[in-house]
Amino acid sequence: PFRENFDAIEAYARDVWAAENVDACDLDSDKPKRYVLGMFPYPSGNAHMGHVRVYAISDAVARLSRFRGFETLHPLGWDAFGLPAENAAIQNNADPAEWTQRNIATMKDEQFSRLGLSFDLDQEINSASPEFYKWTQWLFQTLYDHDLVYRANGWVNWDPVDQTVLANEQVIDGKGWRSGAPVERRQLPQWYVRITRFAQSLWDGLDTLQGHWSDEAIAVQRGWIGRSEGVEIEFPVLGEGGHTIRCYTTRADTIFGVTSITLAPEHPLVKDLAATEVQGKVEEYIAFATNRSELERETAERTGVALGAKARNPLTGEDLPIYISEYVLGGYGTGAIMNVPAHDARDFDFARTNGLPIRQVILPAKDAPEGDLDEAYTDPGFMTNSGQFDGMSTHEAKHAIIDHLVEQGLGTRKVNFRLRDWLISRQRFWGAPIPMVHSDEHGWAKAPDLPVMLPKDVDFSQGSGKAMASAPGFLETTFPGTSDPAIRETDTMDTFMCSSWYAWRYLDAKNGEQAFRESRAEDWMPIDYYVGGLEHASQHLIYFRFISHFLHAIGMTPTSEPVKNFLDNGLVKLGGEKMSKSKGNVVIPTEAVDKYGADALRLYILADTPLRRDIDWDDSGIEGKQRFLSQIWTLAGQIASAPALEGEPAPGTDAEKAAMRELAKIAKEVAEDLEERRGFHNAIARLHSFVGELRPLVAGASDAEKPLLRHVMAEFMKVLGVFAPHMAEYLWREAFGMSASLFSQPWPDPGEQYLVADELTISIQVNGKLRATVSVPADAGEEQVVEIAKADAKVAEYLGSGTLRRTIFVPGRLVNFVVG
């Protein structure tokens, strides 16, 4: 019985696959190709249900693709740099490389291996290996060559006790996670990637992904890139200095409602404009604001300081007080805004806090009364209190006002992006060393001779930001092309840099000469199906798309977009909460495999819940899948003992026809579910209904019918194999007696004829009146249908009463005889 033996069955199948190397991909194959990729895991040492979900999806698509004749690349690798390895190193005095290797071994050989995932491990990569990070460094230098890398001051979290920079997640309630000391914001020189140069191209590329990425994923990308169209308006400052303040706005239509101007605390004019008596307060406020994160600044109460200076509204001529406030960000637009309290929520709060007037210039309807606002009115409407623009719709007014400002030389049209350049310096050890050297005399240059190896035997006692410099012989070098002394950069790269290009490395994982051959990219990119969580739709997918746009621009990859179809999957929860160790609500994959088997686990994780929704784990669900597998086992056993079908299937009886129809249906529908509809849960439901249809057919089959039913059931193993590969492989060989691996077979294709119903019912009219209905073969043409209709006794009677003048035939529906 199946339930006592699933363990042995699964081990049997894995042995077969290993022996026959069925998961290998021939990267130079001439066949049509498919690249199926699940986002690579971080080697924490623990496989979790999130991994099971991602790779059950990618594996199903990969297996289907092989069945359907595609040379299929479905690789696995490790996103192996990052903090946990470094923390383990600091805490246990371990070597992060060894710690990482150990975790990879555990996850690969003890955990993932038991799930029966068809990864081609010949292309395995590890982003923390010198063979990989050499090319991450190459990528950095190539970006540098194209003027896409620069160095500038950036804000970091500084732990004054540990004397180190902290990642955001290491700052807990404003304090360093180890020292407990209040964290300071400091400006340090950092390396940046000029991703903003590709902002428009990244924005435009999203249009081509419509329908292939979820609307949500595209929306996250749009939000992150944040393209906005507006105008910069000049507000002259009153008094001597001859200053003007430029304010960026997307709502030129509200210019008559401006009641103050607010500068970011870091705006260059602040010190000039601050009146003597507020200078102390202003300095205090600047120190306060610059020490806060952008998120804090955007969500905090709307505090501010009036500078004592005024600016003039160029359209109304009014004098406006000038403030500073933290919610105006220094790095966006011009770092200065015109406040319209009546129509902007933040400005409304700011006006309330600072006692500024709130003037309504937009009404919800043309004759709506003006009243006191309880909150900002932010919707479109009709203009009021706006001089010559009164009565216009906001849409019309926006254009008219912008035109007017531009004509008068008071404003300039402007497109802005929220996207910022990518800060990639990390003052950390366990990352790819930034391959740059510096000399006081010559400045910065690319380090020659990549890779710049991560040093061994480093001292973490001074904090991980100093670890690299502590390694003997690392820091000091000579400036390239000279014998002058130089110092190596000791920062490492953000690990998002590794994941921004790893997809190309899989195409040429062992290449020692190049990151990858362009010909391989030509053959395999873009990725056909990319699987991973929506939480990666912001950072990772932005960086990944950016690198792809860049590689395309320099001719190394065939398309700017790297991912054709993005399958974003939901989480796996328990009791509605995300599984997490700290909450103690984790279901461990290997334990579920021990108890129910990998096939049951995989079926369960794909069933019932649509791809993008969260799954709420439920033991009874996986038990149900085990029972389902048991039924298949029994059914296959029953029919497999019948003699094999000789020759091609030629269904004659109703049962035989029904079985062929079920096979044709499931083969077509499951392929479409996975390839076109993201309907993994629907595909599993079809397995259930297939088995439900076949059981009575098998039970009631005559001996003559059995060979064909046996054939249908054997073919069904391919469909089952997409989701529950172990049992399918086992039955294929051991029950149905096949000798070659199931997974080198072609997808079932019994023929379109089985998909159409056998017979159709046609209405027969005489002079437009229904006189009879007849059954005709579904594939019958006009001639045959008319013949059958004429043979009907009732119809014949009507036809006999006059001369047949005309015959109208509507395929599949009716025949109308016109008799006169």
Q: What is the binding site for ligand ANZ (CB under 6 A)?
A: 226, 228, 248-251, 254, 264, 327-329, 332-333, 335, 337-338, 340, 343-344, 416
Rounded to a whole number of angstroms, the minimum distance from the CB of residue 298 to ligand ANZ is 8
Separation between Cα atoms, residue 134 and residue 137, nearest integer Å:
5
In DSSP terms, which residues pair with 151 in a beta bridge?
A: 191
Token pair 């172990």 in the structure block, residue: 726
Separation between Cα atoms, residue 95 and residue 85, nearest integer Å:
8
Residue placing its CB nearer to ligand ANZ in the complex, 337 or 780? 337
Rounded to a whole number of angstroms, the minimum distance from the CB of residue 378 to ligand ANZ is 6
Separation between Cα atoms, residue 743 and residue 17, nearest integer Å:
9
Rounded to a whole number of angstroms, the minimum distance from the CB of residue 224 to ligand ANZ is 12
Q: Helix 49-67 to helix 598-606 angle, to the nearest 10 degrees? A: 90
Rounded to a whole number of angstroms, the minimum distance from the CB of residue 233 to ligand ANZ is 9
Distances (CA, A) of 53 to 42, 76, 84, 172, 615: 15, 15, 23, 31, 10
Residue placing its CB nearer to ligand ANZ in the complex, 343 or 733? 343
Rounded to a whole number of angstroms, the minimum distance from the CB of residue 242 to ligand ANZ is 23
Residue placing its CB nearer to ligand ANZ in the complex, 294 or 675? 294
Separation between Cα atoms, residue 131 and residue 516, nearest integer Å:
12
What is the phi/psi pair of residue 788, to 5°? -65, -40
Q: What token pair was written down for 412?
A: 């300039």
Does 581 show up as a binding residue in the annotation?
yes
Residue placing its CB nearer to ligand ANZ in the complex, 400 or 487? 400
Residue placing its CB nearer to ligand ANZ in the complex, 360 or 548? 360
Rounded to a whole number of angstroms, the minimum distance from the CB of residue 345 to ligand ANZ is 8
What is the edge-to-edge ordering of all strands in the sheet holding 33-38? 71-73, 33-38, 527-533, 563-569
Give me the amino acid identity at 747.
W
- How many CB atoms are located within 10 Å of the residue 808 CB? 11
Separation between Cα atoms, residue 452 and residue 91, nearest integer Å:
26
Separation between Cα atoms, residue 196 and residue 199, nearest integer Å:
5
Rounded to a whole number of angstroms, the minimum distance from the CB of residue 210 to ligand ANZ is 22
In DSSP terms, which residues pair with 236 in a beta bridge?
A: 244
- How many CB atoms are located within 10 Å of the residue 763 CB? 15
- How many CB atoms are located within 10 Å of the residue 521 CB? 24
Structure letter (DSSP) for residue 379: S
Rounded to a whole number of angstroms, the minimum distance from the CB of residue 416 to ligand ANZ is 5
Rounded to a whole number of angstroms, the minimum distance from the CB of residue 259 to ligand ANZ is 11
Residue placing its CB nearer to ligand ANZ in the complex, 230 or 750? 230
**Residues 6 or more apart whose Cβ sits within 8 Å of residue 620:** none
Residue placing its CB nearer to ligand ANZ in the complex, 398 or 706? 398
Cβ(379)–Cβ(395) under 8 Å? no
Separation between Cα atoms, residue 690 and residue 776, nearest integer Å:
27
Rounded to a whole number of angstroms, the minimum distance from the CB of residue 347 to ligand ANZ is 7
Rounded to a whole number of angstroms, the minimum distance from the CB of residue 664 to ligand ANZ is 53
Residue placing its CB nearer to ligand ANZ in the complex, 378 or 439? 378
Residue placing its CB nearer to ligand ANZ in the complex, 327 or 479? 327
What is the phi/psi pair of residue 202, to 5°? -65, -35
Rounded to a whole number of angstroms, the minimum distance from the CB of residue 261 to ligand ANZ is 10
- How many CB atoms are located within 10 Å of the residue 778 CB? 12
529 burial via Cβ count (<10 Å: 0-12, 13-18, 19+) = buried
Q: Where are the beta strands (DSSP E) in 590-659?
A: 615-616
Residue placing its CB nearer to ligand ANZ in the complex, 542 or 683? 542
In 3D, which of 510, 524, 514 has the Cα closest to residue 129? 510
Q: Helix 793-800 to helix 782-791 angle, to the nearest 10 degrees? A: 90
Separation between Cα atoms, residue 190 and residue 153, nearest integer Å:
6
Cβ(155)–Cβ(59) under 8 Å? no
Residues forming the annotated binding site?
581
Binding-site members for ATP are 581
